[in-house]
Amino acid sequence: METLDKEQQFERLYAIPPIYEWELIVNSDSNRTKVAYGFFCGLNLIGWITLFFLQDNTGLIVAGMFTFMAVIMSLWYRYLVSADKRHYYAINQYGMYSTSEQIIPEIAYTIVRRSAWVGCAICVFAAIFIGPMAFVGAGGAALMSFTMTNFRSVSHKSQCLFDGYAKLRNYRENEYSLYTENYHYGFDLMIPESKLTSIIDVIKQYNDTFEEEFVDLYKDSKFQARPIILEIVR
């Protein structure tokens, strides 16, 4: 019998139709609105403190830059970085694979990229016409602006091959990781309670040994930003 290398096994995994699949829309960060407010208030505070100490045109321009970045960064984090995500999972006899992608209209990416270029222009203008003092705010603002000029949607794929042993660890509500003999890092899963039994049955079907484990990693955590399932698509 021909032995397949890892790359060939992955190709076979994706080529075989799934025996069980599910798809979810998830709020990836339950604290995303609070963090966005933190960006907005923090950057505005820095800007107005600068204006307090530099009560001239330089201070006014620096404060304006921070206000501009406060609006952009808070919206960027809330509606782009922490946007809802669509997760798709599939299982067949050779293993599991998943894809995840943020649910963001392309127009939003276009607006962010163009706004970022405007921010870059403002920062360069400030650095040229105000002098070294502008780098108090312009340096960080320019770095964030340039980072966002190529902002676009990226689909993330991951996979886990079955090898006869499987352990499903539950970290908290709906969050799991699957470990196999040769995959020690954990294949992350979002599993709604209504589908858990069916998914376990399929995993058991294609592995000689199956274990379940609950690990409460977040019991002492004060900042529990957790994903929340918004919709079970299928």
Q: What is the pLDDT of residues 63-79, one digit of tens each?
A: 777 787 788 778 778 77
DSSP 28: S
pTM above 0.85, yes or no: no
Question: What are residue 102's DSSP bridge partners?
Answer: 85
Q: Which of 91-100, 123-132, 153-162 has the lowest mean pLDDT?
A: 123-132
Residue 113 has pLDDT above 80, yes or no: no
Which amino acid is residue 106, in one-letter code? E
Average pLDDT (194-209) is 96
Q: What angle do CA 116, 119, 125 make, to 5 degrees?
A: 145
pLDDT > 90? residue 160 = yes
Residue 126: pLDDT band (50, 70, 90) is low
Q: Are 98 and 157 contacting, i.e. CB atoms less than 8 angstroms apart?
A: yes
134 has pLDDT over 60 = no
Two tokens, residue 42: 């923090």
Please say if the pLDDT value at position 1 is more than 50: no
pLDDT given for residue 53 in this prediction = 76
C-alpha distances (whole Å) from 138 to each of 74, 114, 179, 222, 227 are 18, 18, 46, 34, 34
Tracing tokens 């960064």 back to the chain, one arrives at 73
pLDDT of residue 119: 62
Q: Which residue has the higher pLDDT, 190 or 81?
A: 190
- The arithmetic mean of pLDDT across residues 52-71, rounded, is 75
Separation CA 188–CA 159 (nearest Å): 10
Tell me what pLDDT residue 149 has: 55
What does the pLDDT average to over 108-115?
63
Q: How confident is the model at residue 40, as a pLDDT?
A: 85
pLDDT in tens, 174-196: 999 999 998 888 899 999 999 99
> What residues form DSSP beta bridges with 27?
228
What's the average model confidence in pLDDT over 160-170? Answer: 95
- 138-148 residue pLDDT tens: 555 555 555 55
Return the bridge partners of 194, or none.
Answer: none
Q: What are the angstrom distances between the C-alpha of 172 and each of 46, 96, 158, 215, 225?
A: 37, 21, 21, 8, 12
Q: Indicate whether 128 pLDDT > 70.
A: no
When the pLDDT of each residue in the chain is averaged and rounded to a whole number, the result is 81
pLDDT at 136 over 80: no
Tokens 């340096």 map to which residue?
A: 139
Average pLDDT over residues 12-33: 91
